[in-house]
Amino acid sequence: MTPTIYTEIGIRTIINGRGATTAVGGTLMDPAVLAAMVDASNAFVVLDELNEQVGERIAALTGMPAGYVTCGSAAGMALAAACIAGSDPERIRSLPDSMGMANQIVIHRAHHINYDQMLRVGGAQLIEIGTPQRTEPGELEEAIGERTAAVFYVDSRHTEPGGLDFASVVAIAAARGVPVIVDAASTVPPVDHLRRWGRWGADLVIFSGGKGLRGPQDSGLLAGRADLITAARANGSPHAGIGRGMKVSKEAIAGLWKAIDIFLATDHEAEYQTHLAQAERLADRLAGQPAARVWIEANWEDWPAPVVRIAQQPDARWEPDAVRQVLMAGEPAIHIDVFRGDLLVSTHCLLAGEELLIAGALAALLSP
């Protein structure tokens, strides 16, 4: 049933086979999260006090010394980079002009993602190492110098395979007194994915609040060393730093608090099995298509929920981008992704039965 507000605005809703991504509105929040946000809207608070209190919850959740609520994970990247200014008011005012500061952040070429620019928003100069296919430890060692502020490491299925293993990155950076920032925005559930980076030696970790945590779309988690979180807070809203426009409302902070409660109480293994059954039904409906190769990827290390990948067979007449466009123009509109040349259907945000609607629409389009 289409929510009344979208009918009033005059905009269509979609079947979300893309997953919990910003382009389609993130996730669907639990009613208790929405209730917490409405409740929070009925009084005023000091925003710093609220964020600090929820930050303590983030610290406990992740096993890190301190935490901070950001306006999504991209804002977390900018504020992590802004730590180059520390808590110095004069330096904070000068950003993104970071001339004279240790402002270099080392990043693998294999780890480039669409949101690298957010590090530069925070005043960072990116120093690239390696190739998409291979990086040697000596390249990281050579890249770290007097102007190095941090090493940036990305945990994402969308990166290339050529990055150093994380243990090597931590060992090299720690030996030179350089912090390691991890972008793990889209890697939960399971719960332990929130906690392992601290155990493994990360100094700052970034997570989205509006994806697997099922919190407000405009929320994110930054967790790490107390001095770095203090610096991020000083650069962020409601203060007049580069993060001033990246404000997260009192309602969203309260909603994230409640989302964490629900996330910790959820049986994520059972949810995963439910999504796996959806993926299997979808794949089974497409198994007889001679022009398509269909398979399921079901590994929590790669995706927060099972995905179905569909590749062209030789001489297939369909094109992935064209199929995606036709699905989006259909009724109901179906949003799926194209990943490395294959159609990709994520089950993460599918409602019951929607996998069969997607399968039916795809079956009509994947002709030889």
Tell me what pLDDT residue 368 has.
65
Distance CA 346, CA 336 (A): 7
Read off the pLDDT band of 199 (50, 70, 90): very high
- The average pLDDT across 328-350 equals 96
Domain-wise residue ranges, the chain = 4-25+267-363, 44-265
Q: Over the stretch 58-110, which tens digit does the pLDDT of each residue have?
A: 999 999 999 999 999 999 999 998 889 999 999 999 999 999 999 999 999 99
Give the rounded distance of the alpha carbon of 289 from its chain centre: 33
- The average pLDDT across 21-44 equals 95
Distance CA 355, CA 283 (A): 9
Tell me what pLDDT residue 122 has.
93
Contact between 119 and 78 under an 8 Å Cβ cutoff? The reply is yes
Tell me if the bond preceding 179 is cis, omega within 30° of 0.
Answer: no
Contact between 2 and 11 under an 8 Å Cβ cutoff? The reply is no
Distance CA 36, CA 61 (A): 19
* CATH of span 44-265: 3.40.640.10
Distance CA 117, CA 121 (A): 6
Tell me what pLDDT residue 114 has.
84
Read off the pLDDT band of 338 (50, 70, 90): very high
The letter for the amino acid at 106 is: V
Cβ atoms < 10 Å from Cβ of 91: 21
Q: Would the pLDDT of 288 be above 90?
A: no
* CATH of span 4-25+267-363: 3.90.1150.180
Q: Over the stretch 108-157, which tens digit does the pLDDT of each residue have?
A: 999 998 888 999 999 999 999 999 999 999 999 999 999 999 999 999 98
Which strands make up the sheet holding 292-297, listed edge to edge?
Answer: 292-297, 307-312, 342-346, 337-339
Distance CA 163, CA 161 (A): 6
Q: What is the mean pLDDT of the chain?
A: 95
Q: Which two tokens stand for residue 309?
A: 């990948």
* Burial of 325: CB neighbours in 10 Å, binned 0-12, 13-18, 19+: exposed
